Structures are given as C-alpha cells and as structure tokens.
Amino acid sequence: MAAMTIAKLAKKKIEGEKITSLTAYDASFAKLFAAKGVDFMLVGDSLGNVVLGASSTLPVTVENIAYHTQAVRNGAPDAFVIADMPFMSYATPEQACQEAAKLMRAGANMVKLEGGDWLLDTIRQLVQRSVPVCAHLGLLPQSVNVLGGYKVQGKEESAADNTLRQALALQEAGAQLLVLECIPSSLGKRISEALTIPTIGIGAGPDCDGQILVMHDMFGMNSEYLPKFVKDFLAEAGDLAGAVELYVQQVKEGSFPGPEHCFKG
C-alpha cells in the first residue's frame, strides 16, 4: 500500500470520501490498523488514561509520546502518523518548535495541538519550520480543569460562532487538519463546509470529513464508561480485525456515527 500523505487526505475531502482514523500506541495495533485501511493514526495523549492508567491526559510527557510514536512507526512504516503534543509542551512558540522536533524525529508526520486564538503564532512558526500541524477545537482534554469537566462545547449560538471563527483562523495560520471534539452535529457540519482542510470528528457528527476514536473505546475496553459518541465495534464483529474492518466500512459509508452517537445544539 502506498504511503498516506496530507495531500491524499486533502483530496479525500475534495472528493467526498470519508477519512478513517484511530489512536494507536504500539507496533502490533499499528500494523493491524494499516492492514485494514485506516487512513491515519494518532499517538494520542489519551495514552495517559488507557496505557498509563492516569485519570487525565495531564501527566503525559513528550518523552511518553515520542516512545509510543516510534513504536507505531515501527509497526506501520508507511502510515500517516500524528503525534499529540502533551500538556504544557507548547506554552510558547519556541518551546513548541523544540518539542515538536523530538516527535518528528521519533516518526511523526504531523503534530497536534489543542486550542484556538492563542496558538496562531505557534502554528505559523511550526509550519514555517516544516512541522505540519493538526489543530483541535471543541472539548479540549488538556483544559479539563479550566472547562470544569468533560462537557459538550459550542452549544450556544455565540460559542458556536466563536468556534467557527477560530477554525477559520487556525486554517489561515497553516493548520492542515482540524480535530473537532464533542460539539453539536450542526456545528460540525457548519465548520466542515466552511473549511478547505479536512475536519476529523470525535463526537462532532457525521458531516465531518472523517472520524477518529480511541482504539480502546471502539473495542469496548473502557466498559465502566463509554462516551455517547462511541460504538463497541468488537462486540458486533467478534474479533479485533473484524472490528477494525467494520469501523472503516461504517465510517466510509456514512453509517457511523449514527444519530445516537451525536450531540444536538
């Protein structure tokens, strides 16, 4: 299989083909996901919860992400791999450039940062220095203490307008992908139609250009709490390979996420 690139992801948006993605943290699952046609993988700071057993993403370090990025790259040499920049690793543009370099050297094709207006200069500087950027709006797990918990964002009209404005600004600054998390489906549709870069939803409705889930969630492994936007594909498919195939198929055909996985404005 030919290597995935940001240009190919952008082409999928133009042609209306849904983009599929999952988080990955090791070589074995990366190899499986690549074999089953997952378009890209995110080495998420969600590893704080699902790998390290922490109660949030905040304890995750750049070294943690770099370690798992290298493992994913080893398992899937041709995959498009995005690495999360963890909490307080991009507080200034200078710090962001230094820490992003570590993740790119570990095998990432792109880094992901959470936030809006305050990141515009950081994104410009990263892109100028040949570091591709995926932005992230909506629910920002690294800001959970400021947000007061894991809540749907952008429900009020003014908040929705502000999220759209920030999405356009992030694109203008040079972001080439945008993750939208836990926002009303109507807002996910609005932003996806307004942007020329692909949008990747997680609890942001079926009209985003692609979907992402935490792999442990889509396998039903966090049984004590599955967010509304998650479906247990393993329970339906019966084995790991089948679950990944089913996820890719249902995202591509537009049947996932369904109405039961979405938030209203």
Q: Determine the length of the chain.
A: 265
In the predicted structure, residue 182 carries a pLDDT above the cut 70: yes
Q: What is the pLDDT of residue 227?
A: 86
> Which one of the listed residues 17, 94, 172, 181 is annotated catalytic?
181
Could you read off the pLDDT of 78-99 as tens digits, one per residue?
A: 999 999 999 999 999 999 999 9
What stretch of H or E contains 168? helix 157-173
pLDDT band at 164 (very low <50, low <70, confident <90, very high): very high
C-alpha to C-alpha distance for 159 and 172, rounded to whole angstroms: 20
In the predicted structure, residue 100 carries a pLDDT above the cut 70: yes
Name residue 21's beta-bridge partners. Answer: 40, 212
Please give the sequence-ordered ranges of beta strands (E in DSSP) within the chain, or none if there are none. 19-23, 40-43, 80-84, 110-114, 133-138, 177-181, 199-202, 210-213
Which CATH fold would you assign to the domain 6-261? TIM Barrel (3.20.20)
Percentage above 70 pLDDT, the chain: 97
Q: Report pTM.
A: 0.96
Is-cis flag, bond preceding 257, omega within 30?
yes
Residue showing tokens 């195939």: 245
Query: Using CA atoms in the order 44, 157, 227, 237, what is the torsion angle rounded to 10 degrees?
Result: -80
Q: What is the pLDDT of residue 245?
A: 98
84 marked as binding residue: yes
In the predicted structure, residue 1 carries a pLDDT above the cut 70: no
31 marked as binding residue: no
Residue 249 backbone dihedrals phi, psi, to 5 degrees: -60, -45
User: Is the four-CA dihedral 175, 176, 179, 180 of positive or negative sign?
Assistant: positive
The residue extents of the domains of the chain are 6-261
Active site residue 181: yes
Residue showing tokens 């090791």: 26
Query: Using CA atoms in the order 232, 203, 139, 82, what is the torsion angle rounded to 10 degrees?
Result: 70
Could you read off the pLDDT of 198-237 as tens digits, one per residue?
A: 999 999 999 999 999 999 999 999 766 778 999 999 999 9
Give the CA radius of gyration of the chain: 17
The dihedral region occupied by 114, where left means phi > 0, alpha psi between -120 and 50, and beta the remainder, is beta
Q: What is the pLDDT of residue 147?
A: 62
Name residue 202's beta-bridge partners. Answer: 181
Q: What is the pLDDT of residue 223?
A: 61
Query: Using CA atoms in the order 34, 115, 7, 11, what is the torsion angle rounded to 10 degrees?
Result: 90
Q: What is the pLDDT of residue 112?
A: 98
228 marked as binding residue: no
239 marked as binding residue: no
Least confident of 145-159, 175-189, 248-262: 145-159
Mean pLDDT of 35-56: 95
In the predicted structure, residue 152 carries a pLDDT above the cut 90: no
Compute the half-sphere exposure of residue 139: CA atoms within 13 Å on the CB side of its CA.
19
255 marked as binding residue: no
Percentage above 90 pLDDT, the chain: 90
Token code pair at residue 234: 């393993």
